[in-house]
Structure 1
Amino acid sequence: MKALSIAATGMNAQQTNLEVIANNIANVNTTGFKRARAEFSDLLYQADIQAGTPSFANQNVIPEGANIGLGVRTAAVRNVHIQGALTSTGNRFDMALTGSGWFQVEGAGGETVYTRAGAFNTNALGELVTVEGYRVSPAINIPEGSVEVIVNRSGQVFARLEDQIELQELGQLTLATFANDAGLKPMGSNLFAETEASGAAIVGVPGDPGFATIQQGYLEGSNVDPVKEITELIAAQRGYEMNSKVIQAADQMAAVVATGLR
């Protein structure tokens, strides 16, 4: 009985959906987190009657056939890269992006990875780094004894040293954009990697057309909407229950047939 296997694919799909929603809810307060959405597609169809073939009686063409679907599968888990709300922190090294773009970070293997989480700090050498200790690229070094650090909207970094009036320019932050943000590979720790699906990184200056601006002293929050996630959680639960009911009904029908054959 195909109904058993069809309903089983539905339960597996809703289980995946539930796991994606659970991860969204778990990261509701994660800086720069982008919610994910499970996408599904139907499986192959079994054609019991082929449309367009002549009928047995008078050779008239059958206008529509009988195609029985065989269930559902997970097609993709898509990250939704929309802007999160900005929260003021007052920390001079915190930076939020307003608009499209990614901070560039030097990964553990020296490769360039990307993040929207601008919760930066300095290491023992005065280098601007992420909370995991990865260096921000291009490298920015904060001189020892800096009493003020200013990052303007276009990514220029300035510092005022002790007993100095003039600001000293330390460097220029650049951002990367992609033709397809959804194609980036999530690596954990708020980091993403470039893939063939995302396209090559396009590097530019904050504030240029198509690039975000930088807001110093702010962090971009998660774009997870708790109300939406709870609503989708209930829908996923109901979908799982309905598929389990189909399995129970198919089992009862099979039991009736088996009893009649005895």
Structure 2
Amino acid sequence: MSFYTSLSGLKGAQTDLSVISNNVANVGTVGFKKSRTEFGDLISSAPLQASGSIAGQGTRLKGIDQQFTQGAAESTDRTLDLMISGQGFFVTRGGVTGGQTAFTRNGSFNVNADRYVVNSTGGYLQVLPVDEVGKVTATGIDSSRPLQLPLTTGQPKSTTKLDLSVTLPSSAGLPASNPKFDVDNPYVFDRLDPDTYNQSTATTVYDAQGNALPATIYFTRTSLPDAVTGESSWDARLFVGNQEVDSNRLDGTSGPLELRFDSNGVMIVPDGEVSFGNVDTPLELDIKFGATTRQANAPFTRTSLSQDGFSAGKLDNVSVGSDGLVIATFSNGSTQPLGKLLLANFANPGGLRQLGDARWSVSGESGEAIVGEANSDGFGAIQSGSLERANVDITEELVALISAQRNFSANAKAIETANNMNQTIVNLRT
């Protein structure tokens, strides 16, 4: 019987060596979780046999348990290198519309030819849908979808507001008093004739399709300071491309916008935003002359000019927040939430079925997946630009390897000793 007792010890030590060797071999595998062998002793006894006279019959393998402890972080500075700091698994699927669902701690992801984010085995990283402000709109693993990066562009936005501040020279004359204009050749505004206006400033605005359009504002002095009030006025004309855009005046008429200044050069009209637009122009917008717009004894100066439109832009950057929200940034300065990483956890992670490449699938022992968002409900935070190394302590494994080797040698020695004893008995002579 001692042969089989020692044989069970040999098999146990051999299994222990295999598990330890596998741990050591995967010390460089991202997201790998080490395993540990669990053994139990074998006892066989009759009901009336005294407990003090029972000899064990060897050992048996109770199981190989996976150890889901946190691995060390390795900084990579790649946005799509992701690490879960805490509990949880990334969720991947074998295809765009379905396929095998797998769970992994390996956060090394790349972009395939169709702009989907995938891992090294081709699994599609799953995210939850979000609205325009990044709020999750549907939950559950059935609501998830593969993360796809926009091909080239975001959404364009037409210009609706234009903020402008200028300094107009108080010494400017009336273009109408130019000797060039007389009874036979009266004054008429012509944007192609610099003698018909005093100053101009230009910018770029955008229509609903994101097309860039040149916009120019021409300033024409229409009255000199009044002898009593000291007030003076200017006309501001807006052209988008070659088309003049009329202002909608308070009196219901349309045409150039009147700018009126008091004796100190402070603008008193208009006192807020003015709407510009007509049927023939590709957009309507509001122009607001800022508080720093004034008339002074100084050259014409454009103090500030801004507008809120932009064209469609190319993908410039992708970021992943600690809460798993994936945001795309475009060259035009706009941003777009793409989804929120779906994380999963299990009542018994050690019961997961290993698939290789640091991937697991659900089993009866693990229980169903519990899904949620990063940084909430017991799930860990996402670290972008980092990877989780294997949780293998190489020093600890080498010591365990020596111990397993000694166990194997000791059991082999026990078999040799039992064999010698049997041989001695066989050789006895009467």
| TM value normalised by structure 1 | 0.91
1:156 equivalent in structure 2: 325
Percentage identity across aligned positions? 38
Deviations 1:29-65 (A, max 9, x none): 10000000011111232449613xxxxxxxxxxxx44
Query: Which residue matches 2:389?
Result: 221
**Equivalents in 2 of 1:171, 1:96: separation in Å?**
17
Distance, in Å, in 2 between the alignment partners of 1:47 and 1:17 is 31
User: Is the 1:99–1:212 contact (alpha carbons within 8 Å) kept by the matching residues of 2?
Assistant: yes
Q: Does 1:143 align with 2:150?
A: yes
> Which structure 1 segments of 5+ residues have no match?
52-63
Alpha-carbon shift at residue 177 of structure 1 (Å) = 0.6
Structural mapping, 1:199-214, within 5 Å: 199-214=367-382
Write the letter of the residue equivalent to 2:316. V
RMSD of equivalent CA atoms: 1.5
Runs of 4+ in 1 over 4 A off after TM superposition: none
**1:91 and 2:90 correspond:** no
SS in 1 for 2:404: helix
Q: Does 1:124 align with 2:124?
A: no
Could you say if the C-alpha distance between residues 203 and 222 of structure 1 is closer, same or farther in structure 2, counting changes exceeding 3 Å?
A: same
| Partner Cα separation in structure 2 for residue 76 and residue 149 of structure 1 | 43
User: Which of 169, 184, 193 is matched with 2:352 structurally?
Assistant: 184
Distance 2:21 2:48 in 1: 42
Q: 2:61 aligns with which of 70, 74, 85?
A: 74
Task: Return the index of the structure with the highest Cα Rg.
Answer: 2
Kept in 2: contact 1:47–1:67 (CA 8 A) = no
**1:167 has 2:335 as partner:** yes
So what's the TM-score if we normalise by structure 2?
0.56
Q: List gaps (5 residues or longer) in structure 2.
A: 128-145, 153-314
> CA separation in 2, counterparts of 1:179 and 1:222?
22
Instruction: Give the CA deviation at 1:143.
Output: 1.3
In the TM superposition, residue 225 of structure 1 has moved relative to its aligned partner by 0.2
Count of aligned residue pairs for this structure pair: 248
State how far apart, in whole Å, the 2-side matches of 1:18 and 1:222 are.
Answer: 19
Q: Deviations over 1:76-120 (max 9, x none)?
A: 001100000011101111100000000001036713110000000
Q: CA deviation at 1:261?
A: 4.3
Whole-angstrom distance in 2 between the partners of 1:167 and 1:261:
95
- Partners of 1:48 and 1:154 in 2: how far apart? 60
Q: 2 CA distance for matches of 1:10 and 1:46?
A: 20
Tell me which protein shows more helix as a share of its residues.
1
The answer as to whether partners of 1:28 and 1:224 remain within 8 angstroms in 2 is: yes
Bigger shift: 129-138 or 213-222? Answer: 129-138
1:55 paired residue number: none
What residue number does 2:401 align with? 233
1:110 corresponds to which letter in structure 2? Answer: G
- Give the Cα separation in 2 of the matches to 1:194 and 1:87: 28
Query: Which amino acid in 1 is paired with 2:321?
Result: N
